[in-house]
Structure formats: structure tokens, C-alpha cells
């Protein structure tokens, strides 16, 4: 994987699974780990490698029993707001209001971005101390928040290398595939680059996944209010376009990422009906509702 543009080759899936398992288990020394992560970033991971990494991730992820009824929507939060107000909590609270359980999981180490955990705290949503507490919150409030360390400590250690390496690594992609309740979940998978979208489409099809694949907003799992991205639903691996991408609408309001307090106040006003909820958010919630109840 480190032999350059002409010599590098993808790892076979079984080898990728074994390697990523050793990485998550802390068996790879620091020098070799840094070399592997940077080599993968330069080469780019192919679909078979991602499938192997995902296979290693699954048995090392803690399990949670969601309440009966609709599937539990899994919302990853690994970025935070930079230029625009973060509406990921709005999506979560709208789904919970409809009786659909929502588990938010995340990790934050971006000093230059607003912390999504602080934003959620402004709305009374605190990280669960353990998975039993998260399960109780889902049953009671239909919404729960867990830090990545609670779900997969090995992956949390991998993400924590970003400030030292200066760039993200494959762990940031894998975090969006975490599934603590397999068979009872709908994963929201926000991606950025078209190439990553294509690879993830193949992987979700291969996994026979229940998921919503979409372009994230600044990396967060909500639809851009000014321009709805394509919302692709995966029903046991069968891809269906639930909403097509649309052209940007300059008349739609975009709030700046001023502070978590102002962000939370805007979300509260939207939920109270004091201002209209952006149509792309309504569409995303509708798509997730269809997946959760299917």
C-alpha cells in the first residue's frame, strides 16, 4: 500500500480485515501505524479494503438493544459546525418526535469548529455514561447520545491521532459505518467526495444494509438547507433514490455558525413552528421515516 502511484495495490479483503482488527486492538506499533494510515490516505481505500475494515469493526463494537417498533436511526457526528449552523440535532429531534428512536454517536477534536456535544447539551441531550443508560434514554425519550469511546475504544484511539498526523485517517470513514444494533438500525452515512459515495454505495449493497447515503453538510449528517443532496435509501442493500439532488435556492436562509447557544435557539424556534423548517430537512426526515418503518 506504500509503493507509490504505480506500485501500490489494494489489500485483499481478508488481509484488510486482519490488519484493521490488529489496529483496533492496539497491536500495531506507533511508527508502523502512522505509516499505514498515511499510505492508505495517499493511495485511497478501495471497496474490498473498506469491506474488510468494516468486518473487523463490527465484532469490536458494543451492542445496544433499541426499543421495539421502528428501526433505530444512527446519526454520526464527527465534525461540528464551521461556517453554518449545525442542524443535525434538528433531524434527531424531529425523528424522536415521530416516535422513531435516534442514537447519536460521535467524537470531537476540532478546535476550529463548534463542538456538537456542547450544542446537544444546550438542548438537554447529554452523553450516556454507558449503553444501559443509552438504551433507557431511547426507550423513554426516543433519543440518546453516546461518545465513540463507549461504542468502540479502539476506533476512538485511532481518531485521536488526527491532531498528531495532521490529517484524517480511514477511521473517520469507518466511524460513519458503526452499528451497535445490527438488524434493528438505519445508518445515516454522510460523505463528501463523489468517489467516496461510489465506494460506499458498493459497500452498503454488499452488506445488505439499511441506510441513508447522502452528501453531508460540513461533514455532519443533515441535508444542506439551501440545496437538498441526493438522498439514497438502502433497503436491505437495495438502493432506491428517495429524493433527487436539487439546484441551490438562494432564497433559503442559511444561518452562520455563531455559537452553540444561538444554534440551539434557532432549532428550538423551528421545532416550535415559529419559523419554517427548511424543505431539505423535511425531506431527509421523511426518507429516514420510510426506512425506519419499512
SS3 143: strand
- For 9, phi then psi, to 5°, come to -135, 155
Closest residue by Cα to residue 205 from 195, 217, 197:
197
% of the chain exceeding 70 in pLDDT: 100
Q: pTM of the prediction?
A: 0.94
Question: Helices H, strands E: what count in the chain?
Answer: 14, 7
Q: What is the pLDDT of residues 201-257, one digit of tens each?
A: 999 999 999 999 999 999 899 999 999 999 999 999 999 999 999 987 777 777 887
Are the beta carbons of 95 and 285 closer than 8 angstroms? yes
Query: d(Cα 260, Cα 116) in Å, to the nearest integer?
Result: 8
Cα–Cα dist 155/148, whole Å: 8
DSSP state of 27: -
Distance CA 165, CA 288 (A): 35
179-203 pLDDT, tens digit each: 999 999 999 999 988 888 999 999 9
Amino acid at each position: 500500500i506504500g509503493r507509490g502511484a504505480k506500485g501500490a495495490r489494494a489489500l485483499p479483503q481478508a488481509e484488510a480485515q486482519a490488519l484493521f482488527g490488529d489496529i483496533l486492538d492496539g497491536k500495531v506499533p506507533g511508527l508502523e501505524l502512522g505509516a499505514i494510515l498515511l499510505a492508505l490516505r495517499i493511495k485511497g481505500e478501495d471497496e474490498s479494503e473498506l469491506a474488510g475494515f468494516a468486518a473487523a469493526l463490527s465484532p469490536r463494537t458494543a451492542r445496544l438493544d433499541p426499543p421495539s417498533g421502528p428501526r433505530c436511526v444512527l446519526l454520526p457526528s464527527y465534525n461540528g459546525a464551521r461556517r453554518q449552523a449545525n442542524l443535525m440535532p434538528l433531524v434527531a429531534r424531529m425523528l424522536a418526535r415521530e416516535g422513531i428512536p435516534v442514537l447519536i454517536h460521535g467524537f470531537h477534536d476540532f478546535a476550529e469548529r463548534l463542538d456538537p456535544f456542547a450544542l446537544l447539551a444546550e438542548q438537554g441531550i447529554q452523553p450516556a455514561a454507558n449503553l444501559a443508560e443509552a438504551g433507557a434514554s431511547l426507550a423513554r425519550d426516543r433519543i440518546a447520545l453516546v461518545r465513540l469511546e463507549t461504542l468502540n475504544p479502539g476506533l476512538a484511539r485511532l481518531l485521536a491521532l488526527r491532531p498528531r498526523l495532521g490529517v484524517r485517517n480511514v477511521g473517520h470513514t469507518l466511524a460513519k459505518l458503526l452499528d451497535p444494533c445490527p438488524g434493528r438500525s438505519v445508518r445515516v452515512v454522510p460523505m463528501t467526495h463523489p468517489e467516496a459515495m461510489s465506494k460506499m454505495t458498493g459497500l452498503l449493497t454488499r452488506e445488505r444494509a439499511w441506510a441513508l447515503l447522502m452528501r453531508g453538510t460540513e461533514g455532519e449528517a443533515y441535508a444542506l438547507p439551501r440545496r437538498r443532496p441526493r438522498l439514497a435509501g438502502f433497503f436491505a442493500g437495495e438502493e432506491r433514490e428517495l429524493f433527487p439532488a436539487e439546484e441551490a435556492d438562494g432564497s433559503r436562509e442559511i444561518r452562520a455558525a455563531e455559537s452553540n447557544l444561538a444554534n440551539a435557539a434557532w432549532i428550538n424556534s423551528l421545532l416550535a413552528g415559529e419559523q419554517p423548517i427548511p424543505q431539505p430537512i423535511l425531506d431527509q426526515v421523511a426518507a429516514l421515516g420510510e426506512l425506519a418503518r419499512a
